Amino acid sequence: MQDENDISGTTPRRRPKADVLEIGGRKLKPSTLMMGHGFDPALSEGSLKPPIFLTSTFVFESAAAGKRHFEGVTGKRPGGAEGLVYSRFNGPDQEILEDRLSVWEDAEEALTFSSGMSAIATLLLTFVQPGDVIVHSGPLYAATETLIARILGRFGVQWLDFPAGATREEIESVIERAKDLGRVALIYLESPANPTNQLVDVQAVAAARAALFDGDTPAPPIAIDNTFLGPLWSKPLEHGADLSVYSLTKYAGGHSDLVAGGIVGKKALLDQIRAMRNTIGTITDPHTAWMLLRSLETLELRMTRAGENAAKVCAFLRDHPKVESVGYLGFLKDDRQADIYKRHCTGAGSTFSLYLKGGEREAFAFLDALKIAKLAVSLGGTETLASAPAAMTHLSVPDERKKALNITDNLVRISIGVEDADDLVADFDQALSAI
């Protein structure tokens, strides 16, 4: 977020006109702010939409302005770096995108990255050192597990996990064991877990941290991968998380045509992550940032429609004789999971697990018969996608772990898009008949 009052001319970028954020005491909603927040057309020839700023570097107004910038970067002047200097650090499209992204979770600030994984990698590199312990919920997105266990493990970083549905007591006992191993650098969550759909009790995690870190030992930040339900159906910053992490490739991008990541949350933590991003260059590019600005204008429309479609499709699938069960957050049977859902979520999302009666043969026959839904991994796009995790995304997972995670051969993962709901039901109906 730019300081609107700083017009000292230290940088080539003029400040945008102050935004209208409320009218008559009414705080404007994210869906309204997505059309203009953070961009002043007067700074870009009156262009209604922000141009794509394809430049690697920015011109200083004077030598003194250049010096002033680097005094900020190096900490010789308080307040940090401001303005635009070099595109590995920042750019106008990314700044506008970050301003808008932060609105959805009422976050202090946001940062955007070249992918969800580069966001996660930059976050981890910022906070962990050799000997540290990462406490995380399990299971995590496969590449995140690889990054923590295999890659950071090579540098002496340790980890301990608790199952996504764990109670406060279970979480506390894992954190206590972690404290015996080394400094707990980060608590990293992912909710709902894929493909088990287990929700993490963020409030319980925050309470456990508050109980176990007082006074001398600084408390580790709590970060959570909010890709599956955020930013519409889950706002974990409200429940005690410090950082909410996104693969913007999914719902935020929403058209299956880009790869990007984001982190929103506390400024003091994001300032540290920004310094790491500046060093290693994991920022998103201007063109992708511009595409995301367009995506965010329809985020609420798309997610709302996809959520409504998923509710209709899941209601149909649940009662079908060829279906064993549907793992959808709208159908929670477990009381504790239902309680977490009630406290943390405002919608069940549009990504779910479908367990067919039978095994791989039945799952493949179903997938091959689909006419509207496309066979592809990923989720959160305008189009409905379906895949078989056991044979695709989780093929390399050891059998024992697959079993523990309920990744069976008859499992189909489905992400519902914004098509007509009855057309989707007709497609799933005929594909089930083809088994």
Ligand X SMILES: *Cc1c(COP(=O)(O)O)cnc(C)c1O
For the CB of residue 120, give the shortest distance to ligand X in the complex, in Å.
7
For the CB of residue 13, give the shortest distance to ligand X in the complex, in Å.
28
For the CB of residue 351, give the shortest distance to ligand X in the complex, in Å.
9
For the CB of residue 82, give the shortest distance to ligand X in the complex, in Å.
29
CA gap 93, 291 in Å, rounded: 10
Residue carrying structure tokens 């549905």: 165
* Burial class of residue 321 (count of CB atoms within 10 Å of its CB; 0-12, 13-18, 19+): exposed
CA gap 225, 107 in Å, rounded: 15
| Closest CB to ligand X among residues 126, 415 | 415
| Closest CB to ligand X among residues 268, 392 | 392
| Closest CB to ligand X among residues 192, 221 | 192
| Closest CB to ligand X among residues 33, 245 | 245
For the CB of residue 259, give the shortest distance to ligand X in the complex, in Å.
5
How wide is the angle at C-alpha 72 spanned by C-alphas 68 and 74, nearest 5°? 115
Q: Mind giving me the DSSP string for 233-281?
A: TB-GGGGT-SEEEEETTTTTT-SSS---EEEEE-HHHHHHHHHHHHHHT
CA gap 370, 375 in Å, rounded: 8
| Closest CB to ligand X among residues 81, 329 | 329
Q: In this structure, what are the phi and psi dihedrals at residue 324, rounded to the nearest 5 degrees?
A: -80, -50
The residues of the shown chain that bind ligand X, judged by CB under 6 A, are 115-117, 141, 190, 194, 225, 227-228, 247, 249-250, 259, 261
| Closest CB to ligand X among residues 221, 380 | 380
How wide is the angle at C-alpha 168 spanned by C-alphas 126 and 413, nearest 5°? 70
For the CB of residue 323, give the shortest distance to ligand X in the complex, in Å.
24
Residues 405/195, Cβ–Cβ less than 8 Å: yes
* Burial class of residue 245 (count of CB atoms within 10 Å of its CB; 0-12, 13-18, 19+): buried
Q: Which single residue brings its beta carbon nearest to ligand X?
A: 116
| Closest CB to ligand X among residues 226, 278 | 226
CA gap 20, 27 in Å, rounded: 9
CA gap 240, 110 in Å, rounded: 17
Q: In this structure, what are the phi and psi dihedrals at residue 130, rounded to the nearest 5 degrees?
A: -55, 135
294, 317, 329: which is closest to 366 by C-alpha? 317
* Burial class of residue 9 (count of CB atoms within 10 Å of its CB; 0-12, 13-18, 19+): middle
| Closest CB to ligand X among residues 186, 323 | 186
For the CB of residue 204, give the shortest distance to ligand X in the complex, in Å.
20
| Closest CB to ligand X among residues 282, 410 | 282
Q: DSSP character for 148?
A: I
For the CB of residue 141, give the shortest distance to ligand X in the complex, in Å.
4
For the CB of residue 412, give the shortest distance to ligand X in the complex, in Å.
17
